[in-house]
Amino acid sequence: MKARITATGFAVAGLALSAMLPSVAAAADSLEALGANPNNWTMQTGDYTGQHYSRLSQITTGNVKNLKAAWSFSTGLLHGHEGAPLVIGDMMYINTPFPNNTFALNLAEPEKIVWQHKPKQDASVKAVACCDIVNRGLAYDDGRIFKTQLDGHLVALDAKTGKELWKMENCDPAVGSTITQAPFAVKGKVLVGCSGAELGVRGYVTAYDQKTGELVWRSFATGPDNELNLSKDFNKDNPHYGQMGLGTKTWEGEAWKIGGGTNWGWYAYDPKLNLFYYGSGNPAPWNETMRPGDNKWTMTIWARDVDTGAAKWGYQKTPHDEWDFAGVNQMILTDQAVNGKSQPLLTHVDRNGIMYTLNRQTGSIVQAAKVDPAVNVFKKVDLKTGLPLRDPEFSTRMDHKGTNICPSAMGFHNQGLDAYDPDSRTFYFGLNHICMDWEPFMLPYRAGQFFVGATLAMYPGPNGPTKKEMGQVRAMDGVTGEVKWTKWEKFSVWGGTLATKGGLVFYNTLDGNIKALDKTNGKEIWKFKMPSGAIGAPMSYAYKGKQYIATNYGVGGWPGVGLVFDLTDPSAGLGAVGAFKELQSYTQMGGGVMVFGL
């Protein structure tokens, strides 16, 4: 029965199956079985590896020029639409920014909304969201939709009816903690973190039981070892990364309690090792002078046991951050040969501009290469010690205005979801190319209020063909760090990329184009201008034998804050607003989903 469903792969059957076998093990199987069918798009990262790759091959380099809009859907909301819709069988599930409405459409008749879930939230939570009121999408497992609300709640809905099954408060907006992250469904649990490092929120990842909403475990990013939930042999393969006691010792006094390290990015999971991977974010406040020490374990790539949350290894990429290089970006799992021997790998492009490839079983570093030579905060990463070698010229400190620091606080890579093509062993990274000036200032901590303490101005990096480019798509080898090709963009490629078996790399632009490149050379062969700029990545699904490309549109997020700002204001020349001021001449706010087919 199960084999047949995997083969034909229709999720309707999958849903029926999971309803008949309600055990937790069957649920995990069912999600993996659904994901194994390329007609579905079951999670934001594409699958547990995070490769964000579609095995559908109907749309090719040869026929993509005939790709046309098939249908569209307005969410009725403005602001940044991050994430992407999910497709399971004949249903599409769409999520929105605050107030985090969810819509279910039947692909047989997408004109009609099957159900909608519209939570009521106190608007004052908007005041503590750092960078627009985005949401990075839904998760699905075993007949349930899992969603997050800006006001800190994790909610489970019945995928058939949209009925609320349970609702848990995971993050407390009263102390400035919100959720913008997409939840991650794995092994009968839902994993979720919080946002709020800009308000001094102490980071943690929590697992909830999918059925009951009961808290299973919670592991912190800072603090005592038991709260960090370190396994006894933590970092045994790389003791020089640090082991016990450092979540408190690398802070002054009790600063770790308001030290940030929130995780609001993406997860990946290796069923063989039973480990999941994610990154903890920046320490608080941004002003480094106010928090001496390495500030462990902020800015860390974590490998934790999915059943217990216990950490097997952790690697801190940016000890004592000085630039807000929040380490939460996507983790992509691949198996590739290193020096002729196959290794389980994890690749991660950090905000700091370094592409890290580690052995995901041990945490050992295989490669740490700059995604662009403009990176100047670090000269290089010492592969033996794992430590970055800083260039003091681009460090930040009190009573000093740092200039021409690359990358900017937005990072050369941010929340985008990038693709890996297993056939050519190539990553396609959607990148920012933005540098900055940075000037810190002192400020007190108050619960529920901003705890930043730095003034920034951002502008294009130095390496674009006209020196005005702020984004690029770059094809790279994760093991050697070799750059295969580069496609420059006027604005950040904020949402990331989707690679398909048809030989294409799809991505969205901030000014509202969805584009397709030839994966072999980066040549642009198709584009379509959408009603508003896009800050999520496209996804692909098939229905009734036909492949579709679908994407959210709706400009916003950190790079789009300028568009929700009054740009006739003469002061609109600083920070992200200044860098992206020109965006207003290309696109305006909007929000919805566009679906393309041949």
Start-to-end Cα distance in the chain: 33
Among 253, 392, 465, 570, binds other proteins (CB under 8 A): 570
- With helix as H, strand as E and coil as C, how does 124-173 read? HHHHHCCCCCCCCCCEEECCEEEEECCCCEEEEEECCCCCEEEEEECCCH
Among 450, 506, 553, 580, binds other proteins (CB under 8 A): 450
> What residues from 207 to 226 belong to the interface with other proteins (CB under 8 A)?
none
Q: Using DSSP, state whether 446 is helix, strand or coil.
A: coil
Q: Does 115 bind other proteins (CB under 8 A)?
A: no
Token pair of 137, please? 């999408």
Q: Provide the 10 A C-beta neighbour count for residue 375.
A: 21
Per-residue exposure over 556-579, b if at least 16 CB sit within 10 Å of its own CB, e if not:
bbbbbbbbbbebeeeeeeebbbbb
Choose the stretch contacting other proteins; rule: CB under 8 A; options: 67-75, 126-134, 246-254, 372-380.
126-134
Active site residue 399: no
Q: Spot the catalytic one: 324, 421, 477, 511.
A: 324
Query: Which CB, 85 or 281, lies closer to other proteins?
Result: 281
> What residues from 509 to 568 belong to the interface with other proteins (CB under 8 A)?
561, 564-566, 568
Per-residue exposure over 138-151, b if at least 16 CB sit within 10 Å of its own CB, e if not:
bbbbbbbbbbbbbb
Q: Using DSSP, state whether 575 is helix, strand or coil.
A: helix
Choose the stretch contacting other proteins; rule: CB under 8 A; options: 104-112, 125-133, 398-406, 540-548.
125-133
Query: Which CB, 87 or 133, lies closer to other proteins?
Result: 133
Q: Does 166 bind other proteins (CB under 8 A)?
A: no
Q: Does 588 bind other proteins (CB under 8 A)?
A: no
The CA distance from 294 to 251, in Å, is 7
Among 125, 268, 303, 358, binds other proteins (CB under 8 A): 125
Query: Which CB, 125 or 182, lies closer to other proteins?
Result: 125
Q: Does 290 bind other proteins (CB under 8 A)?
A: no
Q: Does 399 bind other proteins (CB under 8 A)?
A: no
Q: Does 123 bind other proteins (CB under 8 A)?
A: yes
Which residue's entry shows tokens 């559908």?
Answer: 56
Q: Does 456 bind other proteins (CB under 8 A)?
A: yes
Q: Which residues contact 253 (CB under 8 A, 6 or more apart)?
A: none
Among 21, 338, 443, 598, binds other proteins (CB under 8 A): 443
Q: Does 484 bind other proteins (CB under 8 A)?
A: no
* Closest-CA residue to 57 (of 429, 550, 551, 549): 549
The CA distance from 259 to 127, in Å, is 20
Number of residues that bind other proteins (CB under 8 A): 41
* In the complex, minimum distance from the CB of residue 565 to other proteins, in angstroms, rounded to a whole number: 6
User: Under the rule (CB under 8 A), what is the footprint of other proteins?
Assistant: 122-133, 198-199, 441, 443-446, 448-453, 455-456, 561, 564-566, 568-577
Q: Which residues are catalytic?
A: 324
